[in-house]
Amino acid sequence: MIIEPKTRGFICLTAHPKGCEKNVLNQIEYIKSKPTKNGPKNVLVIGASTGFGLASRITSAYGSKAATIGVFFEKPPTEGRPASPGWYNSAAFETQAHKDGLYAKSINGDAFSHEIKAQTLNLIKKDLGKIDMLIYSLASPVRTHPDSGTRFKSVLKPIGDTFTNNTVDFHTGVVKEISIEPCSDEDIDNTVAVMGGEDWQMWIDLLMSENVLSEDFKTVAYSYIGPSLTEAVYRKGTIGRAKDHLEATAFKITDSLKAINGKGYVSVNKALVTQASSAIPVIPLYISLLYKVMKEEDIHEGCIEQIERLFNERLYAEDLQLDEAGRIRVDDWEMRDDIQAKVLELWKEATTETLPEIGDLEGYKTDFFNLFGFNVDGIDYDKDVDEMVAIPGLQ
Ligand code: NAD
Ligand code: NA
């Protein structure tokens, strides 16, 4: 079929298999020339199909020839209806990995459930014996608690006061003010239940008790801080509470891994266009200004550049360069004083008229469509493609 982007609000309902494949192959190519010294060997990636999780899987496989198991929640294709992008990404990754002689298998389902955890555990036992790294990179709006069956929904709201600031609709380029009402107490608890650290801890507890974590095992989850501009709605809002919980969980995990000298870390990553971040108000305007400034300074990075630096200059390097709160920081370039000062200046000037000039709206849009395999260089979108692509290592 001919597949075209079909957008609704901040999501795209279609994905292009060839474009997704090209994105994955580009990331593989990037990592091939940047091997990780003493890198991981057997890696489980939760949230492995898109964004930072996919980049982590690629960096593990192609930076240190690691065997990878990927867990994700993606929609398979049906005749005439393309799959979700993470499906095509995983198909492309596993096809290439198998060609290159790398172990790569995956499990598609709800990572929050006992069932998917048990399935993953069995696969580790059967094929790998033990893992030495677990990457936790889930981004989900909902979580059904595996014990109680309660379905929690996360929200992106400020705590206490109404938040008012500018945002951009990146499809139309219109910059306008928006207001977001403060959350209820329940919203905080629900958001922590979805995006906090409880599920990460549950994975670790299960794998530790089943003795499938090797000596010196490491696990890392991803967090975000961001600028003062977005603080009220992000870091000091409901999602920030969840990130506080996630970050606190890293220390608890380290405690629970004492017997094997294991470590739990949080890495604070930079703001990037992903399916998760394009839904957050104010962030798209911030990102389009940030991209402009970071590209001008020649320090712009995508997911793969971020994770390559995380592995090669932090996790598997001599010095983790932890901050005062014990976190790894690969948002260090985004948060540089000179970068933030420039973004803040531009923020004051940003209007519908000025943004195309002072911001990188085009870069934002390109990245957004790239997530779904569209606007990718070298792909002929007029050509017929087979939407029925299989993931070769899918269990
Ligand atoms: P993403 O949407 O690209 O990836 C989410 C992944 O989670 C996908 O693989 C998806 O299939 C999987 N997933 C979602 N629900 C699932 C479920 N129930 N069961 C199994 N898999 C499920 O998101 P991302 O932006 O890469 O985010 C990953 C992490 O990085 C998040 O914790 C996010 O907060 C953090 N982070 C993101 C940014 C950013 O700007 N995008 C910055 C810093 C940190
Ligand atoms: Na991810």
Supply the residues annotated as catalytic. Answer: 234
Q: What is the pLDDT of residue 10?
A: 82
- Number of Cβ atoms within 10 Å of the Cβ of 62: 26
Q: How far is the CA of 231 from the centre of ligand 2 (A)?
A: 22
Pocket probe mutation, ligand 1, options 145, 222, 230, 265, max atoms within 8 Å of Cβ: 222
User: 229 with 339: CB under 8 angstroms?
Assistant: no
Between the alpha carbon of residue 180 and those of residues 20, 89, 258, 286, the distances in Å are: 34, 34, 43, 17
Is 100:65 a contact under the CB 8 Å cutoff? no
**How far away, in angstroms, is 249 Cα from ligand 1 center?**
18
Average pLDDT over residues 280-290: 92
Which of 72, 88, 288, 368 to mutate for ligand 1's pocket (most ligand atoms within 8 Å of CB)? Answer: 72
What is the token pair recorded at 193? 């239940």
Confidence at 277, pLDDT banded by 50, 70, 90: confident
Which residue's alpha carbon is at the smallest distance from atom 3 of ligand 1? 51
Atom of ligand 1 nearest to the CA of 142: 18
E-strand spans in 75-173?
Answer: 104-108, 131-136, 142-144, 151-153, 163-169
* pLDDT above 90 (res 318): no
**pLDDT over threshold 90, residue 132:** yes
> Residues lining ligand 1, judged by CB closer than 6 Å?
47-53, 71-74, 86, 110-112, 137-140, 222-224, 269, 271-272, 274-277
Selection from 20, 111, 27 nearest residue 61 by Cα? 27
Which residues, 6+ apart, have CB-to-CB distance to 20 below 8 Å? 85, 88, 89, 92, 372, 373
Signed CA dihedral, 86, 240, 335, 9: sign only: positive
pTM: 0.98
Instruction: Tell me, in angstroms, the distance from the centre of ligand 2 to residue 385's CA.
Output: 26
DSSP state of 314: I
pLDDT tens readout for residues 243-259: 999 999 999 999 999 99
CA distances from 222 to 129, 227, 331 (A): 26, 17, 11
Q: What DSSP designation does 110 have? A: -
Q: How many angstroms separate the alpha carbon of residue 141 from the centre of ligand 1?
A: 10
Amino acid at 280: I
Q: Over 90: is that where the pLDDT of 30 sits? A: yes
Count Cα atoms within 13 angstroms, Cβ side, for 42: 16
DSSP string, 185-215: HHHHHHHHHHHSSHHHHHHHHHHHHTT-EEE
Ligand nearest to the CA of 221: 1
Question: 252 — phi, psi (to 5°)?
Answer: -65, -40
- The CB density around residue 228, as the number of other CB atoms within 10 Å, is 10
Token digits for 281?
Answer: 């108000």
Q: How far apart are CA 351 and CA 356, in angstroms?
A: 9
Note the pLDDT tens digit of each residue in 221-248.
999 999 999 999 999 999 999 999 999 9
For the record, the structure tokens of 192 come out as 């922590």
Quickly count: other Cβ atoms within 10 Å of residue 249's Cβ.
Answer: 21
Q: How far is the CA of 353 from the centre of ligand 1 (A)?
A: 33
Counting ligands in written order, the one closest to the CA of 239 is 1
**3-class SS of residue 15:** coil
Write the residue with the smallest CA distance to atom 8 of ligand 1: 47
> Taking the CB of residue 324, how many other CB atoms lie within 10 A of it?
5
pLDDT band at 276 (very low <50, low <70, confident <90, very high): confident
Q: Are 124 and 69 in contact (CB under 8 A)?
A: yes
The pLDDT value recorded for residue 274 is 84
Beta bridge pairs of residue 339: none
What's the pLDDT at 220? 98
Ligand nearest to the CA of 220: 1
Task: Identify which of 338, 292, 288, 330 has the alpha carbon closest to the alpha carbon of residue 311.
Answer: 330
278: pLDDT confidence band, cut at 50, 70 and 90? confident
Which atom belonging to ligand 1 lies closest to the Cα atom of 54? 9
- CA dist 395 and 391 (Å) reads 9
Atom in ligand 1 nearest the alpha carbon of residue 74: 11
